Amino acid sequence: MTLHAFRGELLSVPRDPLRDSNAVRHEPDGLLVVEDGIVVARGPYADLAERFADVPVEPLSGLIVPGFIDAHVHYPQMDRIASHGEQLLDWLTRHIFPAEKAFADRAHADAVADAFLTELLRNGTTSALVFPTVHEQSVDALFEGALARRMRIVSGKVLMDLGPEGLADTPETARGESEALIARWRGRGRGRLGYAVTPRFALTSSDAQLQVAGDLVAAHPEVLMHTHLAENVRECEAVAARFPDAYHYLDAYDRFGLVTPRSVFAHGVHLSDRACTRLAETGAGIAVCPSSNLFLGSGFFDFGQADAHGVAFGLGTDVGAGTSFSMLHTAGLAYQAALAREYPLDPFRALYLATAGSAALLHIADRVGALEVGQEADFVVLDCTATPLLARRTAGAGLAERLFALQILADDRAITRTYVMGECAWSRSA
Ligand code: GUN
Ligand code: ZN
């Protein structure tokens, strides 16, 4: 049993500030006590110091927040980030599908998974919902890397029987390989790894394969369902042509049992009110990806529409259509995307979306996202003086102003350290 403590400025947003005016938790001089990777006490230093007088204390200078949770990211696309010239469907064909074919090679998958997980930690991200490729071994490569780093990662083989040659599975292999992966990874990593049934999107799966995805979700109540939804105008038109009887894009998934409380849909830029109503009544959620939506010219997520309907959402980078691994930078872009629709996203709510909000979407909010007692001690130390400009802008500023400046001006440079289960997993100075 190892007990140790961290002293510093603590900030977390365990609940949605839109619905709870007491959602922000801030201790300017706080103590976080960790035992075997779990938070056992948290509060003002002055209140806890006596009780934990025998415990070694590590002072941390900077702002300590929960580890970021990226609700949608593609690890095989990290080396295709910043690929020029196309919107979604042509970008996939020209840049992404060729890159994903290389993941048939396990050694390549291992090398990229390793670089990817390191990049997450460099950016303060300790949990993520991740697209691999269609190849079964691309999931093994990612899970083995996450297991070695003790990170909380959710992923699952991509299903895409209508994909291009070299990247297409079948309904039968989709079922068999997904079942094998669920069985292989169940219980490993002491529950820090989770499985997601992952049809790429409606256009790359036949009806038969979407039905396989629905069967898998029904057979394994513990898994998530992860896919893309209503991202790009031309994609939406193609889906409407393929599913003429569907009321809307979401309905094409709904017909196969793919809209449940454990469903995470990336993007949701072009949603009808009817689709939002259905998302809200089922409890399915959206991973909002502002960087990607801007990079591929997809549009601006409608925060006001989602809130009006009570749709749950979190935040994702969507690398490689997203252009940064930084959830701070992504939060800053979410602000700008929201403002394009006259919605001034509050910086505390943006922090909620990047931590506990995304955790809720991934059904891991009981374990991570808020640095509450009983949760796993995944956290990040942020440096408000990481760049000269950031230092000038935050000098003498209050908490909300500092947090907003970090979201607008900062990125990986502001991550001093990343802790996983109470252990330092990445340090800027190392
Ligand atoms: N829709 C289907 N596949 C993809 C993908 O790889 N990236 C994005 N942004 N959208 C998709
Ligand atoms: Zn994506």
pLDDT tens-digit readout, 102-122: 999 999 999 999 999 999 999
163 and 78 within one domain: yes
Whether the CB of 284 sits within 6 Å of ligand 1: no
Q: Output the pLDDT for position 191.
A: 80
ipTM comes to 0.99
Range of the domain at 72: 68-345
The number of distinct structural domains making up the chain is 2
| pLDDT tens per residue, range 147-158 | 999 999 999 999
Whose CA is closest to 138, among 115, 112, 164?
Answer: 112
Query: Which residue puts its alpha carbon closest to atom 7 of ligand 1?
Result: 321
Query: Which residue puts its alpha carbon closest to atom 3 of ligand 1?
Result: 200
Q: Output the pLDDT for position 189.
A: 67
Cβ–Cβ < 8 Å for 391, 86: no
192 and 95 within one domain: yes
Atom in ligand 1 nearest the alpha carbon of residue 235: 1
CA separation for the pair 249, 262 (Å, rounded): 18
Where the chain has pLDDT below 50, the residues are none
- Give the Å distances, CA to CA, from 195 to 154, 180, 223, 317: 5, 11, 5, 20
CA separation for the pair 1, 5 (Å, rounded): 13
Atom in ligand 1 nearest the alpha carbon of residue 201: 2
Query: Which residue puts its alpha carbon closest to atom 11 of ligand 1?
Result: 228
339 and 417 within one domain: no
14 and 139 within one domain: no
CATH of residue 16? 2.30.40.10
Cβ–Cβ < 8 Å for 209, 217: no
Count Cβ atoms below 10 Å from residue 219 Cβ, excluding itself.
Answer: 13
Whether the CB of 158 sits within 6 Å of ligand 1: no
Whether the CB of 229 sits within 6 Å of ligand 1: no
CA separation for the pair 127, 293 (Å, rounded): 22
420 and 308 within one domain: no
139 and 18 within one domain: no
Whose CA is closest to 327, among 356, 311, 343, 351?
Answer: 351
Q: How far, in Å, is the centroid of ligand 2 from the Cα of 36?
A: 35
